[in-house]
Amino acid sequence: MNDMIIRKDRRAGRLTFNRPQALNALSHEMALAIDAALREWRDDPEVALVIIDAKGERAFCSGGDIAAVYRAGLAGDHRVGREFFRDEYIMNARIAEYPKPIVAFMQGFVMGGGVGVGGHASHRIVGDTTQIAMPECGIGLIPDVGGSWLLGHAPGRCGEYLGLTAARMGAGDAIFTGFADSYIPEAEWPALIERLAESGDVTAIGAHPAPEAPLATVDLSAFAGETVAEIVAALETAGNEAALKPLRRNSPLSMAATLALVRAARKDATLRDSLARELRFTARATAGSDFLEGVRAQIIDKDRNPRWSADASPAHVAEMLAPLGADELIWEESK
C-alpha cells in the first residue's frame, strides 16, 4: 500500500510511514499492513531485524487517523471504532513481543498511535526534533495503544502528569520517562539505517549522551492526588497555572479514566493487560464518552472549543472500564 512502504532490504524488514502530508497519521489499513508484515517476517531467515521510519521531517506518526471512526460513530455505527482499536492494539502487542529486534527512528511528532508503533519497539531512537505526547484527553479519549502501560511505568508521577496534561516530551524527557532508548542526531540516521540493513546487527546503533530531561527536576507531587479534583486543588495551592491550563481544557471523563488506567497499569503483569483495559474504554468511546465532540472541536471544525458533556462520575468511569464480555480483546493464539 502507498501509505506504508513495506519491503525487505538486505538483512532488514523495512516499514516506512509514507503520508507526510497527513503527518503520517495511522489508518486502520496501515495498522493491518504493519501487523501482516511482522507476521510474515517473524520466521523469515532473511530478516534479522525490522526498521521502522517515516517520510517527511515533521512527523514519525502524529496519531491514529480517526476520521472514519468519527463519521461512523456520528451515524450510530460503533463497530468501525471497535474494530480499528482492536486491530491496532493487536499490532501494538506484536511489536512489543516481537522475537527479532525492531528499531524505530522517531522524528518530529510522535503522538498517540505513533507511540503505539514506535514506543513498543525494542530499540527506540529519538533526535532533536522529536516531540512525544499522549494527547488523547484533549479529544475525549484516553491514552491507548499501550500508552497507559508506558505512562504507568514512567518514574514518579510523570505518568499522571503526561496523561492528564498531554505535555510534549523532547528527546531527553522521552528517554528519562521510558518512552525512548537512545538519542542520535537525525543527520546520522540515514547512514545508521544503511549499516543496520547491511549487517542485520543492532550493535551498530551505538548512542550519544542523552540531552537534558527537564521533567527530572519538576515537582509533580500534586499528581499523587486520589482524584482529578484533588490534583487540581493541589496545583491551585501551588499556583501551578501551566499544569492547570490543560486540566481545565481537557475532557473530565477522559482525565478521570486516564488516572484510573495509568494507576491500574502499574500493577499489570504485561502490556497485553493494559491494552485489554484500554479497549474497554475505546470500544465504548463513540457511544459513551466525549470522543465525538472532542474530534469535532479539535479535528473536524477546528474551533478548539469542545463542549464536554459526558458523565465523569466514578460510576460512569467504572462502566467505561468494565469488561466487554464477548467483545474482550482476544489474542491470536487464544482464538
Specify the residue for cell string 467504572. 318
Q: Is the pLDDT of residue 28 over 90?
A: yes
Q: Is the pLDDT of residue 194 over 50?
A: yes
Residue 205, CB half-sphere, CA atoms under 13 Å: how many? 21
Mean pLDDT rounded to a whole number for the chain? 96
- Which of the four pLDDT bands, split at 50, 70 and 90, describes residue 1? low
Q: Is the pLDDT of residue 310 over 70?
A: yes
Q: Is the pLDDT of residue 334 over 60?
A: no
pLDDT digits (tens, 9 = 90+) for 262-288: 999 999 999 999 999 999 999 999 999
Of the candidates 137, 160, 157, 134, which has an alpha carbon nearest to the alpha carbon of residue 147? 134
Position 129 scores a pLDDT of 98
Q: Is the pLDDT of residue 324 over 60?
A: yes
Top pLDDT among 331 and 289 is at 289
C-alpha cell at 313: 462520575
Three-state DSSP class for residue 218: coil
Sequence-separated (6 or more) residues with CB below 8 Å from residue 277: 148, 261, 264, 265, 268, 321
pLDDT digits (tens, 9 = 90+) for 241-258: 999 999 999 999 999 999
pLDDT digits (tens, 9 = 90+) for 72-93: 999 999 999 999 999 999 999 9
pLDDT digits (tens, 9 = 90+) for 116-166: 999 999 999 999 999 999 999 999 999 999 999 999 999 999 999 999 999
Give the C-alpha separation, 290 to 33, whole Å: 29
Q: Is the pLDDT of residue 335 over 70?
A: no
Q: Is the pLDDT of residue 206 over 90?
A: no
Residue 136, domain extent:
4-334
- Which of the four pLDDT bands, split at 50, 70 and 90, describes residue 333? low
Give the C-alpha separation, 310 to 303, whole Å: 19
pTM: 0.96
Which residue blocks in 12-78 are alpha helix, DSSP H? 28-42, 67-74
Q: For a pLDDT cut of 90, what percent of the chain falls above it?
A: 96
Q: What's the CATH number where 11 sits?
A: 3.90.226.10
Classify the C-alpha dihedral 232-114-276-94 as positive or negative: negative
Q: How many domains does the chain have?
A: 1
Position 207 scores a pLDDT of 79
